[in-house]
């Protein structure tokens, strides 16, 4: 079954139990996936009339275009496209104006192969994303629009922060593209002014502890690294922040609102510094709003660590034997010490631990050369949004399932699941007075301090597993494809030393993967390249409808089984007493165990 934004978005969440019939009906009404017979000439990509005119050769980026795609989000329905003419002239502030395209299922069948509709959905590697047919299509569409509307780029510079460029439909003739610009005035109106923010946090952040504030116009976008992370160059020649002039930094912001960004800013300003936690912001970034003239806070700057994260480095270096156990252990100790600091000095938790969010830096400054032995682990991303399902301990995972069901119950009615949600809602800790950020990660915020520490110990155990096994994440993902995919899945070990295995097992003692099922569990949906299959059935008949029915049926049975496990957990003593992770060590005990492991490995 071919991948698409809507399909993946539905399959990897438990709310699929409410959506599967509706999704099955829509997929049945269209032709998709592999087929058993040759394609008709009228819809074949080999037919010249079905080729996108002016599209560069396959596999190449938009080298001749005056636009550049740096990456994408939302399963390739949102692209980070930047105009080179503005980047190379007087500089372009990081306005975060992205390009939005329809779901892949809405592409004309004849263009799906040309535009890499299915093969691009899961990609997480920016260069590979830039080379996709749809990325080249977007560049050419923007080139043509600029040539037809010579004043477009001048207006582009004046657009509100977070505005959208929308391509409503994918067509073969670029001249027929309906490209619409949607200014986002509403987002700017939500920005909080700096004086108001200082007053709000006055009891926690002294005025002299605030970094300088600089206008977004003093920044030049260089590359979009993530949907919330932009690499920028500072152009502050006078006034506050002039010491930043010429520096390269990371601009952290968001286009879906500023709540999480301000939440992270507050954490970084109120938590004492630590060598393995992202340094304090070097500037607060403001912008004059389009209406009312308010100078709102749109984000902040932090140092740029060019070596990147452990996600791609771990498998790349480990496969060529470049990472020794001593270095791996050092990184694990550093991350453990950072987590302890978050708990003890920050008074909070870290819910987002995985190799993506561990960067590499150096004690003596920033490194531009990949000399791993001289690098230290640096924890980043303190928005506290929560983690993916495979990284969650049971006390987070199962409430997370139920929170997802609560937010989608309006789609349909199901007595069994409605009763389960109602039972969860009655039993969960009270939510009165919670903030927006807390409501988006309720399972973590509702835990006691002690239980939060035990949950962090669980995640730390999985992180240690990834480091010593040299993999990017704990198991292959249905939704995300990495340059080097994991070759094994937790809890299977391949090369981890015995003393480290004991630590991992202790941290994850109550992980569902360690438990022997009382009855056979249903298989799950897996990804092979750009196609989805039921687990263990990758060599099915190529009939598209049969595969789609089997995938959807497998997903339905899998989520039913998972929700039954959630029901059992909610009826268990841990949930009733709200005391979790009794079998797991504290973070301090993990640190001590890592120290003993270092001694054992050195002997």
Separation of alpha carbons 569 and 585, rounded Å: 21
Tell me: the pLDDT tens digits for 283-321? Answer: 999 999 987 789 999 999 999 999 999 999 999 999 998
Note the pLDDT of residue 60. Answer: 54
Using pLDDT thresholds of 50, 70 and 90, give the confidence band for residue 373: low
Tell me: the pLDDT tens digits for 464-514? Answer: 999 999 999 999 999 999 999 999 999 999 999 999 999 999 999 999 999
Average pLDDT of the chain is: 90
Note the pLDDT of residue 515. Answer: 87
Note the pLDDT of residue 34. Answer: 42
Least confident range of 139-148, 354-363, 459-468, 533-542: 533-542
Note the pLDDT of residue 77. Answer: 97
Q: What are phi and psi of 285, to 5 degrees?
A: -100, 125
Note the pLDDT of residue 537. Answer: 81
Using pLDDT thresholds of 50, 70 and 90, give the confidence band for residue 541: low
Note the pLDDT of residue 146. Answer: 97
> What percentage of the chain has pLDDT greater than the value 90?
76
Strands (E), 192-350: 213-215, 219-226, 229-234, 248-252, 283-288, 295-303
Note the pLDDT of residue 365. Answer: 46
The tokens describing 306, both together, are: 């060019």
Tell me the domains of the chain and their CATH numbers: 48-183 (no CATH), 188-303 (3.30.200.20)
Separation of alpha carbons 487 and 474, rounded Å: 10
Q: Is the pLDDT of residue 545 over 90?
A: no
Note the pLDDT of residue 26. Answer: 78
Separation of alpha carbons 533 and 339, rounded Å: 38
Separation of alpha carbons 207 and 375, rounded Å: 34
The tokens describing 522, both together, are: 């249903």
Using pLDDT thresholds of 50, 70 and 90, give the confidence band for residue 538: confident
> What percentage of the chain has pLDDT greater than the value 70?
90
The arithmetic mean of pLDDT across residues 254-273, rounded, is: 97
Note the pLDDT of residue 32. Answer: 46
The tokens describing 60, both together, are: 């190449």
Note the pLDDT of residue 57. Answer: 59
Least confident range of 188-202, 230-244, 533-547, 578-592: 533-547
Using pLDDT thresholds of 50, 70 and 90, give the confidence band for residue 41: low
DSSP secondary structure of 542-566: --HHHHHHHHHHHHHHHHHHHHHHH
Q: Is the pLDDT of residue 13 over 90?
A: yes
Using pLDDT thresholds of 50, 70 and 90, give the confidence band for residue 209: very high
Instruction: Please state the three-class secondary structure of 97-142 as a single string.
Output: CEEECCCHHHCCHHHHCCCCCCCCCCECCHHHHHCCHHHHHHHHHH
Note the pLDDT of residue 317. Answer: 93
Separation of alpha carbons 464 and 67, rounded Å: 41
Tell me: the pLDDT tens digits for 546-591? Answer: 888 899 999 999 999 999 999 999 999 999 999 999 999 999 999 9
Least confident range of 250-254, 296-300, 417-421: 417-421
Of the chain, the end-to-end C-alpha distance in Å amounts to: 52
Least confident range of 15-19, 65-69, 327-331, 347-351: 15-19
Tell me: the pLDDT tens digits for 116-127? Answer: 999 999 999 999
Q: Is 433 helix (H, G, I), strand (E, B) or coil?
A: coil
Using pLDDT thresholds of 50, 70 and 90, give the confidence band for residue 409: low
The arithmetic mean of pLDDT across residues 416-437, rounded, is: 88
Separation of alpha carbons 511 and 489, rounded Å: 13
Note the pLDDT of residue 44. Answer: 67
Q: Is the pLDDT of residue 330 over 80?
A: yes
Using pLDDT thresholds of 50, 70 and 90, give the confidence band for residue 51: low
Tell me: the pLDDT tens digits for 133-181? Answer: 999 999 999 999 999 999 999 999 999 999 999 999 999 999 999 999 9
Using pLDDT thresholds of 50, 70 and 90, give the confidence band for residue 76: very high
Tell me: the pLDDT tens digits for 338-347? Answer: 999 999 999 9
The arithmetic mean of pLDDT across residues 340-360, rounded, is: 98
Count of CB atoms within 10 A of residue 290's CB?
16
Using pLDDT thresholds of 50, 70 and 90, give the confidence band for residue 92: very high
Note the pLDDT of residue 374. Answer: 74
Q: Is the pLDDT of residue 542 over 70?
A: no
Note the pLDDT of residue 399. Answer: 97
Q: Is the pLDDT of residue 33 over 50?
A: no
Give bridge partners of residue 283 from the DSSP assignment: 301
Q: Which residue would you say has higher pLDDT here, 48 or 20?
A: 20
Using pLDDT thresholds of 50, 70 and 90, give the confidence band for residue 238: low
Note the pLDDT of residue 367. Answer: 38
The arithmetic mean of pLDDT across residues 93-114, rounded, is: 95
The arithmetic mean of pLDDT across residues 313-339, rounded, is: 95
The arithmetic mean of pLDDT across residues 369-381, rounded, is: 76
Least confident range of 70-79, 285-294, 446-455, 499-508: 285-294
**545-561 burial, b for 16+ CB within 10 Å, e for fewer?**
eebbebbbebbbebbeb
Q: Which residue would you say has higher pLDDT here, 123 or 58?
A: 123
């Amino acid at each position: 079954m071919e991948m698409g934004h809507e399909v993946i978005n539905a399959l990897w969440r438990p709310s699929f139990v409410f959506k599967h019939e509706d999704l099955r009906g829509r997929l049945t009404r269209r032709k998709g996936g592999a087929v058993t017979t040759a394609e008709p000439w009228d819809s074949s990509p080999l037919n010249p009339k079905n080729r996108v005119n002016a599209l560069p050769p396959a596999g190449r980026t938009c080298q001749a275009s005056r636009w550049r795609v740096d990456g994408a989000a939302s399963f390739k329905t949102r692209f980070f496209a930047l105009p080179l003419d503005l980047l190379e002239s007087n500089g372009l502030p990081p306005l975060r104006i992205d390009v939005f395209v329809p779901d892949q299922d809405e592409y004309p069948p004849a263009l799906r192969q040309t535009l890499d509709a299915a093969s691009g959905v899961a990609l997480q590697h920016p260069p590979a994303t830039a080379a996709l047919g749809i990325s080249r299509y977007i560049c050419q569409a923007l080139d043509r629009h600029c040539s037809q509307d010579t004043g477009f780029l001048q207006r582009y510079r004046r657009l509100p922060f977070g505005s959208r460029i929308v391509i409503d439909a994918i067509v073969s003739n670029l001249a027929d593209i309906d490209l619409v610009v949607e200014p986002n005035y509403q987002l700017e109106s939500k920005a909080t002014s700096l004086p108001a923010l200082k007053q709000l946090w006055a009891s926690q952040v002294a005025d002299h502890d605030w970094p300088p504030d600089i206008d977004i116009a003093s920044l030049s976008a260089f590359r979009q690294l993530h949907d919330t992370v932009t690499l920028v160059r500072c152009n502050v020649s006078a006034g506050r922040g002039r010491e930043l002039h010429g520096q390269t930094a990371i601009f952290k912001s968001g286009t879906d609102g500023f709540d999480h960004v301000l939440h992270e800013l507050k954490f970084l300003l109120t938590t004492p510094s630590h060598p393995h936690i992202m340094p304090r912001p070097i500037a607060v970034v403001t912008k004059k709003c389009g209406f009312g003239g308010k100078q709102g806070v749109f984000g902040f700057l932090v140092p740029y660590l060019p070596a990147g994260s452990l996600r791609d480095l771990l498998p790349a270096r480990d496969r060529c034997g470049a990472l020794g156990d001593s270095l791996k252990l050092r990184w694990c100790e550093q991350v453990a010490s950072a987590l302890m600091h978050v708990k003890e000095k920050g008074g909070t938790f870290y819910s987002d631990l995985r190799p993506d969010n561990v960067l590499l830096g150096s004690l003596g400054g920033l490194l531009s050369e990949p000399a791993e032995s001289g690098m230290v682990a640096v924890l980043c991303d303190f928005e506290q949004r929560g983690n993916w399902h495979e990284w969650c301990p049971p006390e987070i995972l199962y409430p997370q399932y139920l929170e997802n069901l609560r937010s989608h119950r309006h789609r349909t009615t199901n007595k069994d699941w409605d009763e389960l949600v109602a039972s969860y809602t009655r039993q969960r800790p009270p939510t009165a007075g919670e903030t927006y950020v807390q409501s988006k990660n309720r399972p973590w915020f509702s835990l006691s301090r002690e239980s939060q520490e035990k949950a962090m110990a669980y995640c730390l155990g999985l992180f240690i597993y990834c480091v010593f096994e040299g993999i990017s994440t704990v198991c292959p993902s249905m939704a995300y494809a990495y340059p080097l995919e994991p070759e094994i899945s937790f809890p299977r070990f391949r090369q981890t030393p015995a003393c480290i295995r004991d630590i991992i097992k202790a941290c994850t003692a109550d992980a569902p993967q360690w438990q022997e099922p009382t009855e056979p569990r249903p298989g799950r949906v897996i990804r092979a390249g750009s196609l989805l299959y039921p687990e263990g059935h990758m060599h099915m008949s190529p009939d598209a409808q049969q595969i789609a029915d089997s995938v959807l049926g497998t997903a339905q049975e899998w989520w039913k089984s998972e929700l039954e496990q959630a029901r059992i957990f909610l009826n268990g003593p841990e949930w009733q007493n709200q005391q979790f992770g009794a079998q797991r060590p504290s973070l301090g005990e993990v640190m001590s165990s890592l120290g003993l492991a270092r001694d054992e490995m050195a002997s």
